[in-house]
Amino acid sequence: MTTTGSDGGVPLLGCVADDFTGATDLANTLVKNGMRTVQLLGVPDAATPVPAADAVVVALKSRTIPVADAVAQSVAALDWLRVAGAGQFFFKYCSTFDSTEKGNIGPVAEAMMERLGSRFTIACPAFPENGRTIYKGHLFVGDLLLSDSSMRHHPLTPMSDGNLVRFLGRQTKGKVGLVPIATVASGAKAIQGAFGELQEDGFSIAIVDAVTDRDLAAIGEACAGLALVTGGSGVALGLPANFRGQGRLADGGGADALPAVAGAEAVISGSCSPATLAQVARFADHAPLFAIDPLALAEGRDLVGEALDWARGRLGKGPLLVSASAPAAKVAEVQKRLGVMEAGELVEKAMAAVAKGLVSAGVRRLVVAGGETAGAVVGALRIRGLRIGREIAPGVPCTVSLGEPPMALALKSGNFGDADFFMKAFRTMP
């Protein structure tokens, strides 16, 4: 890891992401808009050198852990970023607002505000390029209201309310308001005016409507003076221009020229989203697939050992796939038998152990599908940081791990990417 040098300076933007694929998604947006970005995995400790980058994203796995733990980790990451010298902060969560009635989005946002002495922030998960738009405070996934989309069946955070003002309001102590699309369409000054009025009326967080990248750029501009911005990766696209306008960010930055990484190729899939199911089906047409059955795991079968034995003779002859991905009805059956969190953890642990075994056997080019799954895998591999390179699909960049041995990784949030994503990832990776 590089330490801050004369050309490195201190990071302008310090980010905390509630899962690993979300963190790479945010890093991807910042890179595309000209900020050199490094992602650190887990709360850095005092000995962690500050990377020479315009933005640092600390990736946590805090989306579905108990609220108090999510708050503690997020504040610890924020404190590290403040000591590192960042002047503005971003809390990144999923563009489908993955959370429950208890949190963790609201409590984490409020704890970060409190730490920063900030009285107002926004919550804007819009990501139009991936079909996530917000209109009159309601989040749409493609043409469907969030609560009518496949997110209502998510294994860990089923989303049953598309009204974000109401939904976030259940998670927060403070009042949640709305900046409507008509205001957003009028530009940054109008949006800032709305922030001021909302604060006067006692609101501390505003959902902000956004249906296009133009809206997000205006919202980003309006957020220049906020200590904390919260949202999906989309709203971060407007932030680099603020730093450029202040003369603090040079033109021409962005993606790292990543070193080439040679080695065997594998995909680990633990996402059960429709996009991932289509990718697994497409990939299995060309590549060998080993399926992980959670019920067999629960009965004590050594599927990790079986998967690794299966993989050993196949590695290096083309990419292979180990997958637990299953359609909603099957997931529901497994959850009924094992419990929701228990099933998730059991599968994540198995996928992480498979990944560790595959890397020991020579895999150096790895694609992981699923946010929680990616967190478990990267944790097991003890990867501490990632350099961010070119984009594979909206929201998913190529990355290369810091430390030895370097690995080429593509960490994909469940719903992202077309059906041929896995092949495309191997073609795009350095």
How far apart are CB 140 and ligand ADP at their closest, in Å? 18
Q: Specify burial of residue 384 (Cβ count, 10 A radius: 0-12, 13-18, 19+).
A: middle
DSSP H stretches of helix in 117-158: none
What angle (nearest 5°) sits at the alpha carbon of residue 351, between those of residues 385 and 380?
Answer: 35
Q: Is position 22 an interface residue for ligand ADP (rule: CB under 6 A)?
A: no
Q: Is position 332 an interface residue for ligand ADP (rule: CB under 6 A)?
A: no
Residues whose CB is less than 8 angstroms from the CB of residue 315 and which lie 6 or more positions away in sequence, other chains included:
264, 266, 358, 361, 362, 363
How far apart are CB 274 and ligand ADP at their closest, in Å? 9
Q: For ligand ADP, which residue of 28, 150, 242, 413 counts as binding (CB under 6 A)?
A: 413
CA distance 12 to 89: 9
Q: Amino acid letter at 388? A: I
CA distance 80 to 94: 23
Q: Is position 294 an interface residue for ligand ADP (rule: CB under 6 A)?
A: yes
C-beta of 214 vs 356, nearer to ligand ADP: 356
Q: Is position 372 an interface residue for ligand ADP (rule: CB under 6 A)?
A: yes
Q: Is position 414 an interface residue for ligand ADP (rule: CB under 6 A)?
A: yes
Stretch binding ligand ADP (CB under 6 A), from 243-251, 296-304, 313-321, 344-352 = 344-352
**Residues in region 302-331 near ligand ADP by CB under 6 A:** 324-326, 331
User: How is residue 145 annotated by DSSP?
Assistant: E
Q: Is position 380 an interface residue for ligand ADP (rule: CB under 6 A)?
A: no
Q: Is position 194 an interface residue for ligand ADP (rule: CB under 6 A)?
A: no
Cα 69 to the chain's mean position, in Å?
18
Q: For ligand ADP, which residue of 65, 72, 144, 156 counts as binding (CB under 6 A)?
A: 156
CA distance 81 to 248: 18
* Per-residue contact string for residues 33-72; x = within reach of ligand ADP by CB under 6 A: ----------------------------------------
Closest CA to 346 of 383, 303, 381, 289: 303
User: Quick check: 139 and 164 in contact, CB under 8 A?
Assistant: yes
Q: Is position 355 an interface residue for ligand ADP (rule: CB under 6 A)?
A: no
Q: Is position 125 an interface residue for ligand ADP (rule: CB under 6 A)?
A: no
User: Quick check: 361 and 315 in contact, CB under 8 A?
Assistant: yes
Binding interface with ligand ADP (CB under 6 A): 155-156, 270-273, 294, 324-326, 331, 334-335, 343-344, 347-348, 370-373, 413-414
